[in-house]
């Protein structure tokens, strides 16, 4: 036993090495992105080892009982719902648990051929590779007790003497995981299959283009793979946000306060000037619709609701792993679709699940608003320091029986002080506690119980914070899986419900999924999966400069003294609204702001998504090295959103929009996988064809002229005829493609791909067929140097590829648009965009090179990648000068270059007994540059600036493509500086401003990255992820208007309201400025509405993004409860904005759209921090 323990300890130690290594290879960029996740998994292993030692249960021991399924005493099942739980009589493998190392299935298996009593002293059997057919020659078979040993013969067969019932038989072979089998009476003819050990040259297998599993060793490009648990433990309802900081070169933008709003995924920088820049999401081969459902306003600071990007509509609990294909070489086979990189998600199956494996996952989380501006609490609403006096004698109906609060004894009688309700700014009287008539003290005719009351004019410092409640999110997921030789099945049912931080906001999701495999014969198999997701939300907050965004009245135009308790009372008994922004004491109608609770409860917005997606197909093994595959991939998405404005003081309105989207892919492939051992050659190849067919249809409708009857939200309740519209976006692309990887001696690899597309969207041009190739190589140079502990692995890789791209439907021939008829006149108009019947496909070229190293016995892994991509001949919508008659035209032209580096380092600095510390860092820097902005045919020239988007409100700041600068340069007005760099002030004492727009910033960050550390002790682990960004400028409405309206602390600090402001700078004559202006004039005139630069901020941040404290319950407890594994963790997300250069907002949480507009913080919703508990139980 002692020896066993020692061996185990060694094995355990080895584990860590292997695992660290496994990660390095998982991603060609080692651990890089997924630090936290992987580390935790490693802890898992540590825990396992620890437990093994503690309990003195040999990990590699399995009790085999004839006809009786006994779960292995294998803690590898700890991790979440692995889908690969113990098989019948699975021997514990001692290798990576199924959910850690991607697709290397290290689990071996033992079958009992004969269960009759055998009278001999012999035990016979056969040892095979995992495929169940290839014999393993020369494997060692040994009785542990007395070291009786034999080896398998040329057929993998063995026969061993000294048979002992109940004894432990050990089967091992170099490069394979060992099996320990407890032999029970009567067993014989064992069929032992050995899993592949990750301690072999097999390295890691990752999912690549078309879902093909490939060994990273031979890849000429970078692929990074994350395990499902990275999005399952510390859950974000939009799981995409959980990827933040975990992937090198991947930038994720969102707004944590926007109730599962959009997460924009940009891989290796912005590439397309005017078309989509988002990564493509593919789930089990199904390309997921991920269109921008939001209006333009979400991107440019205007109004609207953020419905979230549809890629989030999958069940995160079903995710087995996430593979990120970043560069053109990795995505070449996807052609048009893979332009912006691909996030390839593989879901769990029932493979290896045994007769029955059940997993239950419970997540319970609280959401709290974490970043709010610093408000001033000295001055209230209005724009002068006085109140209006209202005399009881003049307006007796406006007073209660006791008349007014004050009486100056001047013969005019008693009066009340009236604040300026109509003014939605806070430049008003000092909050000195004088009794005034607040907005809620009028409306006698509505039986207002508060009528006639005066109350103190006093601060309510927490009035914004109090508006938000603590959100509660609960998720449940149950999965049931079963797998055998004949096939497997996994069924998953899940549910999420969320009451978000906004009053009245609620979300429900339901998930159902089925994955199944059935092997009809050895050659013919079927696989299929189908998923349904229902997602519905109510009471989403508006975004941007838009009434239904509560931050508009809290942070942009509002009054500071409001008492949230009074705001809650948002309507009178007769159902009419009670808002603070009433027109006057005698007129309760809102000037602009409606009561925020009225917005949430009466003007609520609802939306619903129903998504079905899945795939079905057959696979036929023609020979053992060639198979044919035919599959259908389908995605149906139905999105409905409805926006309401209650009829009250306003006439009311109702808008609905319904989108139906269906994409089907019909695909047939031939897959070749052959080795010529004698020539040391290997070939992996795929050839096939695909038909992609998309049907998209959007119907919108809106009422006009108000609602006839209040409270009824249908189009027919429209005072004037409702308007409706229908639009389509159908297209088809047919493709033929092929890829082949030729390997030599596990030293050199060469990959080529080729694809030809025929696209319907270019049909009318005649030029609708296009071809593009890629080539890549990998050189495992460590094969050439003697084994040493400094460099355990070294690989260089290189690739070059071209990627084609197509246009959107209907842009290559003439159309006219319908307008709403006028009276009896039908109207049609010429579209703003000019069609182009000479359009050609787009082509990008990318060069990528990289190095993967493992050092110090794999204790350190380093991976570095350099890429240089030129997206040229882009299809983009060039802006035409309007005097040409058109605003834009689809053209070929424009060149954008992206150059960058991605660096990942992972290390295990400490491994001491029960304790280990693992750390990982990923870092990426992308520099993009607009090389050219003209059309290729020379018809449009001299273009230096192309406006991508202009913010809605001041219309001074634009995100542009500017020749020689980066794609995403911000232009706007700036201060005027003298020769010494001092700001110049005008004779009025305000800063002077440039007449024209100049470059003021750049939305692209200088670099981004993530840093994770995991500490584990026994079966407890603590993991923390910090992500960071340097640079990336944005223009902030929150700061502009918060100061302009006198809401923020800055407007009442240092006595500036009392004493005025002298702007730091020089007068035109060069002398120091000494002109005093009022604080209000300063913030109105010197702010970003006039001088854009004044409210332009650096978006750098350091964020404690994720923390997990987990505990694997001791196996002896778990076993007693008849469970396989229980994991309990405390999790937190978006916990702490540790550093930011921008005041009052969270710079990492300002994105409300996956559209191209960036760099505009249009009144961002507050950042939300989440923390909670995750429980995962496997039965």
Partner 1 sequence: MKLKISLIILCMLAVFSGCKKFEQINTDPARPEETSPQYLLANAEKRASDLIYGPYYNCRIGMHFAQYWTGTDKTDESRNMIIDDGLWGALYSGPLKDLQEISNYYDRHPEERNPHTIAITEILKGWIFHVLTDVYRDIPYSQALQVNQYPQPEFDHAADVYKGILTSLKEQIDILQNGEAADPVAGDIIENGNIQQWVKIANALRLRIAMRMADVNIQEARLVIEEAATNTLSGVSDDAFFPYDNTSASARFPYNEADRPLVEFAVTSTLIDYLKTTSDPRLPVYARPAQASNEYNGKTYGTAGNTPLLADLSTPSAVVYSPLFKGYIITYAEVMFLKAEAAARGMNVGGDAEGLYKDAVTASMEQWGITDTGVVRIYLDNNPYTAGEWKNVIGTQKWLALYMQGIQAWMERLRLDIKKPDGTDLFIPPASGSLDPQVTDVPYRLTYPNATRNANPVNVEKASINIGGDSKATRNWWDIH
Q: Any bridge partners for residue 597, and if so which?
A: none
Residue 1098 makes contact with partner 1 by CB under 8 A: no
Using the rule CB under 8 A, is 964 a contact of partner 1? no
SS3 annotation, 771-828: EEEEEEEEECHHHHCCCCCCEEEEEEEEEEEEEEECCCCCCCCCCCEEEEEECCEEEE
Nearer to partner 1, 169 or 1061 (CB): 1061
Among 157, 583, 838, 914, binds partner 1 (CB under 8 A): 583
List 146, 432, 817, 837, residue binding partner 1 (CB under 8 A): 817
The CA distance from 736 to 759, in Å, is 12
Q: Which is nearer to partner 1, 179 or 877 (CB)?
A: 877
Q: Is 709 in the site for partner 1 (CB under 8 A)?
A: no
d(CA 953, CA 549): 15
Nearest distance in Å: CB 212, partner 1: 18
Q: Between 751 and 879, name the residue whose CB sits nearer to partner 1.
A: 879
The kind and range of the H/E element at 948 are strand 945-950
Tell me how far, at minimum, the Cβ of 392 lies from partner 1, in Å: 17
Q: Which of 917, 920, 916, 918 is nearest to 906 (CA)?
A: 920
1020 vs 73: CA distance, rounded Å:
19
Identify the residue among 822, 912, 979, 1069 touching partner 1 (CB under 8 A): 822
Q: Which is nearer to partner 1, 7 or 732 (CB)?
A: 732
CB–CB of 640/658 below 8 Å? yes
What is the contact mask toward partner 1 in residues 826 to 865, using x (rule: CB under 8 A)? xxxxx-x-x-------------------------------
Binding-residue total with partner 1 (CB under 8 A): 104
Residues 521-540 that bind partner 1 (CB under 8 A): none
Q: How far is the CB of 988 from partner 1 (least distance, A)?
A: 6
Candidates 260-268, 582-590, 786-794, 1119-1127: pick the segment binding partner 1 (CB under 8 A).
Answer: 582-590
997 binding partner 1? (CB under 8 A): yes
Distance of alpha carbon 361 from alpha carbon 479, whole angstroms:
9
680 C-beta neighbours (distance < 10 Å), count: 13
Determine which helix (DSSP H) or strand (DSSP E) holds 213, and give its type and residue range: strand 213-215
Which range in 173-181, 278-286, 674-682, 702-710 contacts partner 1 by CB under 8 A?
Answer: 702-710
Which of 744, 771, 818, 1117 binds partner 1 (CB under 8 A)? It is 818
650 counts as binding partner 1 under rule CB under 8 A: yes
Q: Which is nearer to partner 1, 181 or 562 (CB)?
A: 562
Least distance between partner 1 and beta carbon 146 (Å): 52
936 in contact with partner 1 (CB under 8 A):
no
Question: Binder to partner 1 among 120, 121, 200, 820 (CB under 8 A)?
Answer: 820
Q: How far apart are CA 976 and CA 992, in angstroms?
A: 6
- Rounded Cα–Cα distance for residues 253 and 261 (Å): 10
Tell me which long-range contacts 490-493 makes (C-beta under 8 A, separation of at least 24).
Answer: 490/83, 490/348, 490/349, 490/350, 490/353, 490/514, 490/515, 490/516, 492/315, 492/317, 492/318, 492/348
Query: Which one among 396, 461, 821, 1072 touches partner 1, defined by CB under 8 A?
Result: 821
* Interface with partner 1, residue 972, by CB under 8 A: no
Binding string to partner 1 for residues 753 to 772, with x set by CB under 8 A, is what? -----xxxxxxx---x----
Smallest distance, partner 1 to C-beta of residue 1126, A: 49
Distance in Å, CB of 1095 to partner 1, minimum: 15
By CB under 8 A, name the one of 734, 868, 899, 936 that touches partner 1. 734
User: Which tokens hold the place of 913?
Assistant: 């007994």
Query: Residues 295-314: x/- map of binding to partner 1 (CB under 8 A)?
Result: --------------------
What is the rounded CA–CA span in Å between residue 618 and residue 626? 14
Residues 395-454 that bind partner 1 (CB under 8 A): 420, 422-425
Compute the distance between CA of residue 722 and CA of residue 548 in angstroms, rounded to an integer: 22
Pick out residues in 95-114 that bind partner 1 (CB under 8 A): none
**Residue 941 in the binding site for partner 1 (CB under 8 A):** yes
Binding residue (CB under 8 A) for partner 1 from 396, 575, 705, 1070: 705
Q: Which stretch binds partner 1 (CB under 8 A): 95-103, 280-288, 322-330, 727-735?
A: 727-735
Q: Residue with structure tokens 């299935």?
A: 105
Q: In sequence order, what are the residues at sequence separation of 6 or more whose Cβ sits closer than 8 angstroms to the Cβ of residue 767?
A: 838, 839, 840, 841
Comparison of 114 and 702: residue with beta carbon closer to partner 1: 702
How far apart (Å, rounded) are the C-alpha atoms in residues 113 and 106?
A: 22
**Binder among 70, 495, 651, 936 for partner 1 (CB under 8 A):** 651
Q: Which range of residues in 315-323, 676-684, 721-729, 854-862 is near partner 1 by CB under 8 A?
A: 721-729
Q: Out of 103, 480, 512, 691, point to the residue binding partner 1 (CB under 8 A).
A: 691
Q: Which of 879, 966, 1152, 1176 binds partner 1 (CB under 8 A)?
A: 879
The verdict on 367 binding partner 1 (CB under 8 A) reads no
Q: Each residue of 808-844: b (16+ CB within 10 Å) or e?
A: ebbbbeeeeeeeeeeeeeeeeeeeebbbbeebbbbbb
Query: Which residue spans within 318-380 are E strands per DSSP?
Result: 319-325, 342-347, 357-371
Does 809 bind partner 1 (CB under 8 A)? Our answer is yes
The contact pattern for partner 1, residues 613-632, with x = CB under 8 A and - = no contact, is ---------xx----x----
Candidates 262-270, 315-323, 807-815, 1093-1101 — which segment interacts with partner 1 by CB under 8 A? 807-815
SS3 track for 192-211: EEECECCCCCCCCEEECHHH
Least distance to partner 1, CB of residue 721, Å: 5
Q: Choose between 432 and 832: whose C-beta lies nearer to partner 1.
A: 832
Residue from 22, 878, 1040, 1126 that binds partner 1 (CB under 8 A)?
878
Measured in whole angstroms, how far is the alpha carbon of residue 998 from the centre of its chain?
33
Decide whether 69 or 1068 has the Cβ nearer to partner 1.
1068
Contact pick of 13, 625, 728, 915 for partner 1 (by CB under 8 A)? 728
Strands 875-879, 860-872: pairing kind: unpaired
Binders of partner 1 among residues 657 to 686 (CB under 8 A) are: 668, 670
Q: Could you give the count of Cα atoms lying within 13 Å of 204 in the half-sphere of its Cβ?
A: 32
**Token pair belonging to 620:** 């036929």
How many Å apart are CA 731 and CA 741, to the nearest integer?
Answer: 32
Here the tokens at position 767 are 């030029």
How far apart are the C-alpha atoms of 715 and 702, rounded to whole Å? Answer: 6
Say how far apart CA 1061 and CA 1083 lie, in whole Å.
10
Select from 432-440, 523-531, 990-998, 1153-1161 the region that touches partner 1 (CB under 8 A). 990-998
Output b/e per residue, 492-529; b: 16+ Cβ within 10 A. Answer: bbbbbebbbbbbebbbebbbbbbbbbebeeeeebebbb
User: Residue 480 or residue 719: which is nearer to partner 1 going by CB?
Assistant: 719
CB nearer to partner 1: give 268 or 889. 889
Q: Closer CB to partner 1, residue 65 or residue 383?
A: 383
Backbone dihedral angles phi then psi of residue 229, each to the nearest 5 degrees: -65, -20
Contact flag: residue 940 with partner 1 (CB under 8 A): yes
Task: Kindly indicate which of the ranges 195-203, 295-303, 675-683, 948-956 contains the residues binding partner 1, using the contact rule CB under 8 A.
Answer: 948-956
The Cα–Cα gap between 913 and 639 comes to: 54
Name the residue nearer to partner 1 (CB basis): 414 or 693.
693
């Amino acid at each position: 036993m002692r020896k066993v323990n020692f061996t185990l300890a060694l094995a355990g130690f080895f584990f860590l090495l292997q695992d660290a290594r496994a990660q390095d290879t998982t991603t060609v960029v080692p651990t890089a992105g997924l630090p936290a996740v992987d580390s935790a998994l490693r802890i898992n292993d540590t825990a396992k080892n620890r437990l093994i030692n503690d309990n003195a249960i040999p990990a590699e021991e399995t009790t085999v009982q004839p006809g009786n399924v006994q779960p292995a005493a294998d803690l590898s099942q700890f991790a979440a719902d692995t889908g690969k739980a113990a098989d019948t009589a699975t021997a514990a493998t001692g290798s990576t648990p199924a959910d850690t190392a991607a697709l290397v299935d290290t689990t071996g298996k033992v079958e009992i051929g004969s269960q009759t009593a055998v009278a001999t002293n012999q035990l016979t059997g056969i040892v095979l590779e995992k495929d169940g057919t290839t014999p393993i020659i020369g494997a060692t078979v040994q009785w542990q007790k007395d070291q009786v040993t034999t080896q398998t013969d040329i057929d993998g067969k063995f026969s061993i003497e000294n048979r002992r019932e109940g004894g432990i038989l050990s089967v091992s072979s170099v490069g394979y995981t060992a099996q320990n089998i407890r032999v029970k009476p009567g067993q014989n003819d064992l069929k032992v299959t050995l899993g592949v050990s990750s301690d072999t040259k097999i390295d890691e297998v990752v999912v690549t283009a078309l879902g093909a599993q490939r060994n990273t060793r031979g890849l000429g490009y970078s692929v990074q793979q994350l395990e499902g648990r990275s999005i399952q433990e510390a859950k974000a309802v939009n799981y995409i946000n959980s990827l933040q900081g975990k992937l090198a070169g991947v930038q994720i933008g969102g707004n944590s306060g926007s109730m599962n709003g959009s997460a924009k995924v940009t891989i290796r920088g912005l590439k397309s000037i005017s078309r989509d820049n988002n990564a493509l999401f593919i789930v089990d081969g199904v390309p997921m619709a991920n269109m921008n459902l939001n209006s333009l306003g979400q991107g440019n600071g205007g109004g609207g609701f953020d419905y979230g990007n549809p890629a989030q509509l999958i069940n995160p609990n079903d995710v087995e792993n996430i593979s990120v294909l970043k560069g053109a070489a990795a995505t070449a086979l996807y052609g048009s679709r893979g332009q912006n990189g691909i996030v390839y998600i593989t879901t769990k199956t029932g493979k290896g699940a045994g007769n029955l494996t059940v997993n239950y996952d419970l997540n319970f989380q609280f959401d709290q608003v974490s970043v709010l501006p610093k408000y001033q609490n000295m001055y209230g609403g209005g724009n002068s320091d006085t109140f209006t006096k209202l005399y009881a004698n003049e307006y007796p109906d406006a007073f209660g029986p006791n008349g007014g609060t004050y009486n100056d004894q001047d013969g005019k009688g008693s009066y009340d002080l009236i604040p300026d309700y109509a003014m939605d700014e806070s430049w008003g009287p000092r909050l000195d506690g004088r009794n005034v008539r607040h907005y809620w003290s009028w409306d006698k005719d509505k039986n207002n119980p508060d009528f006639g009351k005066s109350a103190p004019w006093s601060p309510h410092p927490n009035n914004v914070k109090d508006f938000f409640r603590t959100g509660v999110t609960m998720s449940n997921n149950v999965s049931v899986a079963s797998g055998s030789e004949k096939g497997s099945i996994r069924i998953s049912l899940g549910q999420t419900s969320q009451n978000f931080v906004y009053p009245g906001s609620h979300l429900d999701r339901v998930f159902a999924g089925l994955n199944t495999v059935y092997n009809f014969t050895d050659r013919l198999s079927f696989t299929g999966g189908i998923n349904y997701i229902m997602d519905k939300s109510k009471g989403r907050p508006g975004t941007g400069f838009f009434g239904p965004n509560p931050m508009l009245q809290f942070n942009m135009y509002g009054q500071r003294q409001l008492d949230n308790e009074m705001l809650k009372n948002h309507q009178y008994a007769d159902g009419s609204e009670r808002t603070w922004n009433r027109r006057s004491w005698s007129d309760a109608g809102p000037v602009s702001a409606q009561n925020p609770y009225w917005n949430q409860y009466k003007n609520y917005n609802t939306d619903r998504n129903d998504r079905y997606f899945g795939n079905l197909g057959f696979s036929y093994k023609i020979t053992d090295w060639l198979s044919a595959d035919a599959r259908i991939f389908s995605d149906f998405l139905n999105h409905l959103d409805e926006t309401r404005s209650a009829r009250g003081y306003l006439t009311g309105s109702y808008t609905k929009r319904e989108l139906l989207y269906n994409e089907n892919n019909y695909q047939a492939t031939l897959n070749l996988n052959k080795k010529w051992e004698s020539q040391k050659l290997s070939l992996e190849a795929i050839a096939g064809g695909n038909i992609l067919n998309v049907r998209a249809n959007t119907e919108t409708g809106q009422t006009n002229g108000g609602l006839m009857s209040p409270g009824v939200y249908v189009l027919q309740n429209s005072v004037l005829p409702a308007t409706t519209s229908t639009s389509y976006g159908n297209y088809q692309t047919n493709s033929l493609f092929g890829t082949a990887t030729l390997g030599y001696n596990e030293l050199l690899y060469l990959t080529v791909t080729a694809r030809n597309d025929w696209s319907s969207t270019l049909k009318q041009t005649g030029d609708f067929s296009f071809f593009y190739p890629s080539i890549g190589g990998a050189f495992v140079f460590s094969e050439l140097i003697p084994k040493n502990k400094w460099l355990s692995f070294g690989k260089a890789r290189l690739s070059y590829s071209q990627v084609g791209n197509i246009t959107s439907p209907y842009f290559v021939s003439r159309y006219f648009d319908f307008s709403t008829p006028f009276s009896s006149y039908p109207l049609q108009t010429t579209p703003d965009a000019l069609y182009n019947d000479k359009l050609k496909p787009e082509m990008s070229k990318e060069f990528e090179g990289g190095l993967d190293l493992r050092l110090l016995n794999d204790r350190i892994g380093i991976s570095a990648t350099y890429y240089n991509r030129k997206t040229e001949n882009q299809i983009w919508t060039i802006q035409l000068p309007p005097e040409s008659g058109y605003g834009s035209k689809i053209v070929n032209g424009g060149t954008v270059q992206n150059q960058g580096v991605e660096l990942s380092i992972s290390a295990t600095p400490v491994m001491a007994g029960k304790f280990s510390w693992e750390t990982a860092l990923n870092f990426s820097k992308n520099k993009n540059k607009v090389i050219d902005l003209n059309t290729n045919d020379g018809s449009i020239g001299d273009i230096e600036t192309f406006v991508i988007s202009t913010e809605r409100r001041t219309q001074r700041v634009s995100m542009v493509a500017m020749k020689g600068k980066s794609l995403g340069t911000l232009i706007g007005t700036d201060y005027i500086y003298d020769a010494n760099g001092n700001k110049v002030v005008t004779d009025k004492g305000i800063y002077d401003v440039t007449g024209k727009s100049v470059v003021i910033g750049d939305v692209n960050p200088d670099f981004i990255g993530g840093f994770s550390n995991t500490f584990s002790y026994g079966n407890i682990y603590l993991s923390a992820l910090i992500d960071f960004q340097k640079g990336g400028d944005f223009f902030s409405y929150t700061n502009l208007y918060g100061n302009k309206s006198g809401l923020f602390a800055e407007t009442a600090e240092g006595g500036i309201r009392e004493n005025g402001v002298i702007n730091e700078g020089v007068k035109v004559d060069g002398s120091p400025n000494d002109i005093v202006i009022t604080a209000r004039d300063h913030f109105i005139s010197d702010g970003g509405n006039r001088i854009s630069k004044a409210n332009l901020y650096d978006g750098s941040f350091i964020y404690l993004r994720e923390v997990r404290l987990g505990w694997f319950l001791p196996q002896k407890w778990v076993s007693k409860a008849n469970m396989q594994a229980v994991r309990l963790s405390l999790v937190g997300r978006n916990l702490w904005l540790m550093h930011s250069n921008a005041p009052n907002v969270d710079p990492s949480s300002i994105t409300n759209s996956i559209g191209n507009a960036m760099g505009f913080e249009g009144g961002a919703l507050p950042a939300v921090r989440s923390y909670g508990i995750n429980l995962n139980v496997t039965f």
